[in-house]
Each structure stands twice: as C-alpha cells, then as structure tokens.
Structure 1
Amino acid sequence: MGLFDKARDLAAQHEDKIEDGIERGGDFVDDKTGGKYAGQVDQAQDFANNHLDEISGSDNVPPTTPVPGS
C-alpha cells in the first residue's frame, strides 16, 4: 500500500472531521477579517471540500483530473 492509498483511506475514515476543520478554518478567517473576504473564503472551502471528496472516494463530485487509461 502506497502513501497515497494510506492518505485516501485516512481521508475516507475521517471525512466528517476534516470537513468540520475546513468549516472552522473558514469561520476563523471570516471572524478575523470581519467577513471582508467571505466570498473568497467560501470558494476556498468549496475547493477543499471538493478535493476531499475526490480523495476520499465520494461519488458526488466528478474528478478534476483524468483517470489514466480512460
């Protein structure tokens, strides 16, 4: 099992905790900036959550990178 496989397994096992951390991080930035960058923070959170879904194997997001051999 390679490093990426281990990371994928851990992401799948702890997806809820990771998503909570992404949300808390965005809330922290919004709090510290008075919401001045709320749009950019939301985009970053969406980006991070989409890639987490990709890594963990969630089927609700299409892959952004081509699958070898397809």
Structure 2
Amino acid sequence: MGLFDNVKAKLAPAKDKVSGLAQQHGDKIQHGIDRAAKVVDERTKGKYSDKIQSGSGKAKSAMERLAHKDDTGPEGATGTPPSAPPSTPPGTPPPTS
C-alpha cells in the first residue's frame, strides 16, 4: 500500500463528517461565502470583482457537490453516467423489449 493510499484511507472518515456537516449547514456556509466575497470585494475597492465572483462561485459549487454526493447517485458532476451502456456489435439487431 502506497503513501497516497494510506493518506486516503485516513482521511475518508473526515470527508464523510465534512459531507454531513455540509448537508446540515449548507445555507449557512453559502451565506458565509457570500459575506466573505463581499468583504474582500469592498476592501479591494472592486479591483478584483470578477475574480472574487468566480472564486466564490467555485467554492459554492464545490460545497454543493460535497453536500449532495449521496444524492447524485452514480452520475457525476456533469449529470451524465460515468460509462455508457455496452453497445451491440455491428450487424446485430438491437434488443427488443
């Protein structure tokens, strides 16, 4: 077992706990992200508004993915299944149902 596997195994319980907290307190976390973005934008006098909005949007989407990882099922973040169903070989009639 490599170093990465050891670290991954030790962090798995923490990830589950963080996921549960994100599910419980998602609205508070998003509100905090918005407030932090607003404060930073005010202190930089709007100089980096586009970067701040982009960063806060990415933080919110990452938090949502973490909070809803159990609700998404096998589908990934794109909403498509991770693998396509097996195709039929050429010349084989499609299955009938």
Q: Which interval holds the TM-score relative to the shorter structure?
A: 0.7 to 0.9
Taking structure 1 as the reference length, the TM-score comes to: 0.80
* Between structures 1 and 2, the one with greater helix share: 1
Runs of 4+, deviation exceeding 6 Å: none
Taking structure 2 as the reference length, the TM-score comes to: 0.59
Which fold has the larger relative contact order, with Cα–Cα distance below 8 Å and residues 6 or more apart in sequence?
A: 1
- Give the root-mean-square deviation of aligned CA atoms: 2.2
5+ residue gaps in structure 1? none
How many residues are treated as equivalent by the alignment?
Answer: 64
Give the drift of 1:4.
1.0
5+ residue gaps in structure 2? 1-11, 84-97
Give the drift of 1:3.
1.4
Q: What percent of counterpart residues are identical?
A: 33
User: Which of 28, 31, 37 is the aligned partner of 2:39?
Assistant: 28
1:19 aligned onto 2:30? yes
